[in-house]
Amino acid sequence: MSSNSQPALLRAVLDTSVLLSADRHWLWLLAYLGYYDAIWSTFIVGELVRIRVEHSIRHGVERTIYRQRINDLIHLLSDVLKTAPYREVQAQGLLNDPDDEPILATAIAAAAPLIVSLNTRDFPPTGSVSGIQFVTPKDFLSELAARHPSADIERQAGDAGRRLP
């Protein structure tokens, strides 16, 4: 590696829970700006769409409106997030909740050391499994700020506003 080479970016899997939260705006923006590599999988996309549709129906949102919002969201996220082949990895039995195993498999497939999630009740007791650490968005933001001290990451995250549907 030459002295002018940049170190590899931190890779992090974004769990469905954070892509449904208000944190999605700054998570998307900081990935878009190149501060980290954001990862998801077709499993995460499917889960995100299913939950958004269920939520929209429950709240009486007109079908044409929620379809457009979901399509816009998926397009914007797809422009930034990289897809990992989670089905090529076996992660059965590594977590208490089998529904979280595809998320872990995504991280393993992507060689991502972090999973950013709000689903803390299902975090492994040690906070990590198979060398992958589960972190909250707040902890992830602190990690990015430490890695990019001159970028004022926390301000950029705070200024992200509502950029995604």
Model pLDDT for residues 97-145, shown as the tens digit of each residue = 778 889 999 999 999 999 999 988 877 788 888 899 999 999 999 999 9
Report whether pLDDT(5) > 70. Answer: no
pLDDT of residue 61: 95
What does the alpha-carbon distance between residue 147 and residue 1 come to, in Å, rounded to a whole number? 19
- Indicate the domain borders of the chain: 11-158
How would you write 105-157 as a 3-class SS string?
A: HHHHHHCCCEEECCCHHHCCCCCEECCEEEECHHHHHHHHHHHCHHHCHHHHH
Write b or e for each residue in 27-42: b if 16 or more Cβ atoms lie within 10 A of its Cβ, otherwise e.
bbbbbeeebbbbbbbe
Instruction: Name the pairing type of β-strands 11-14 and 37-40.
Output: parallel
pLDDT of residue 7: 59
Confidence of residue 6 (pLDDT cuts 50, 70, 90): low
What does the alpha-carbon distance between residue 93 and residue 110 come to, in Å, rounded to a whole number? 19
Chain segment 13-27, per-residue pLDDT in tens: 999 999 999 999 999
pLDDT of residue 125: 80
Among 8, 77, 86, CA closest to 38: 77
**Residue, of 91 and 159, whose pLDDT is higher:** 159
Contact between 77 and 32 (Cβ < 8 Å): no
Entry pTM: 0.90
The CATH topology of domain 11-158 is Rossmann fold (3.40.50)
Chain segment 26-82, per-residue pLDDT in tens: 999 999 999 999 999 999 999 999 999 999 999 999 999 999 999 999 999 999 999
Question: Using CB atoms within 10 A of its CB, is residue 12 exposed (0-12), middle (13-18) or buried (19+)?
Answer: buried
